[in-house]
Amino acid sequence: MILDLDIGNTLSKWRLKDADSSEIRSRGAVWTREEWRPGADIPDLDVVESVRISSVARQAVLARTVTLLRHRVGGVHVARSTPEALGVTNGYEEPARLGVDRWMGVLAGYQLAGGCCSVDCGSAITMDFVLPGGRHLGGYILPGLRLMKESLKLGTRNVAIDPDSEADELLEPGVRTVEAVNHGIYMAAVSAVNRIYSEVCDQQGVALPLLVTGGDARVVSRGIQAPHAVWPDMVYGGLEACFPLTAAERAGRMSGAPEVPRPVALEKIRAGLAFSMLL
C-alpha cells in the first residue's frame, strides 16, 4: 500500500492506495496537531510500503512525522517546491517559498489540463496560474471561509455554510448573524475567485481551464461562474506525478482526476469584465 499524506494548516488528510490495482482503499483526516501519529483514526503502518507527503505545517511537525515514518516504512518521499518540475517553471522569486500544496496542485493541474488556474479552498484560499507552455505566474492568497468567519469573532465559527445550499440563497441579505456572516464570507470568496480568474485570463490573453480543490471546494464551486471541475484529490495528484509508484501513475494517470470542461471563449470572459465595470 501507498500512504499519501496532505498536511494542511487545519486538517491532515490521508489516503491508502493499492500499489498493484491503483485503487484507493481508505481515506480520512485528522486535525493538524503538534505531531502526526498513527492511531485509531490513522492507518495501520504495517501495510504501508511507501509514503508520499505534502506538508505546509511547521517544519518541526514535518520533521517529526518523517522521522517516525522512516523507522517503519521503506520509501518516504517528501514533496518540495522547486524552480522547475514536470514542464512547469515556478513563478516565485524564491521558488522554495511557494506553498508545496500549491505547487502540487499546479503540477497536477498542468499534467491534466495544460495551462490552467488551480484554486485551493482550505484554511487559505489560494489561486495559481500556469500558462500553456508551463510558465507559472504566481498567484493569490486570501483567508479561507473558516478563517474569515473566526476573524469576525461573532461566535459563528461553528456554524458552517450548508454545502448543499443554493448559490442563489447565499446571495441574499442575511437576516440573522449566522446567515449574514455566512453569506458575506461566501460572497467575499466567490467574488474574488471570479474576478481574479477573469482578470488574469484577460491580462494573459488566454481562457484557462479552471480546477478547484480543498475542504470548501464544493461550496465555493457553486458560486464560480466559469466552467470548472472540482478535484478533491488534486494535491495527491501532484504527489502521484512527482513520485509515480504504480503502473498507472507511470503512465501519467492520476486517481480521481475529473473531466475538465472547456473554458468559455476569452471574448466572453472579457465581455463579462467590461460589463461589471460599466455598472
Ligand X SMILES: CC(C)(COP(=O)(O)O)[C@@H](O)C(=O)NCCC(=O)O
What is the set of active-site residues? 101
Does 105 contact K ion by CB under 5 A?
no
Please list, in sequence order, all residues whose beta carbon lies within 8 angstroms of the beta carbon of residue 120, skipping any fewer than 6 positions away.
Answer: 101, 102, 105, 126, 212, 213, 214, 234, 235
**What residues does 125 pair with on adjacent strands?**
121, 142
* Distance between CA atoms of residues 183 and 165, nearest Å: 11
**What residues does 126 pair with on adjacent strands?**
120, 141
CB of 36 to ligand X, least distance (A): 14
The binding site for ligand ADP (CB under 6 A) comprises 8-11, 122-123, 144-146, 214-216
CB of 200 to K ion, least distance (A): 18
Between 103 and 186, CB nearer to ligand X: 103
Q: Say if residue 123 carries a ligand binding annotation.
A: yes
Closest C-alpha to 130, from 95, 91, 98, 82:
91
Q: Say if residue 238 carries a ligand binding annotation.
A: no
Q: Say if residue 168 carries a ligand binding annotation.
A: no
Q: Which residue is nearest to K ion (CB)?
A: 122
Does 122 contact K ion by CB under 5 A?
yes
Q: Which residue is nearest to ligand X (CB)?
A: 99
Contact 36, 44 (CB under 8 A): no
CB of 81 to ligand ADP, least distance (A): 16
The binding site for ligand X (CB under 6 A) comprises 8-9, 56, 97-99, 101-102, 120, 122-124, 126, 141, 144
Q: Give φ, ψ of 66 to 5 degrees.
A: -65, -40
Q: Say if residue 101 carries a ligand binding annotation.
A: yes
Binder of residue 106, out of K ion, ligand ADP, ligand X, none (CB less than 5 to 8 A by kind): none
* Distance between CA atoms of residues 130 and 37, nearest Å: 35
CB of 219 to ligand ADP, least distance (A): 8
Between 10 and 65, CB nearer to ligand ADP: 10
Burial of 197 (0-12, 13-18, 19+ CB in 10 A): buried
For Cα atoms 106, 10, 179, give the angle at the middle one, nearest 5 degrees: 100
User: Residues comprising the binding site for K(+)?
Assistant: 120
User: Residues comprising the binding site for ATP?
Assistant: 6-13, 123
- Residues near K ion (CB under 5 A) are 120, 122, 124, 126
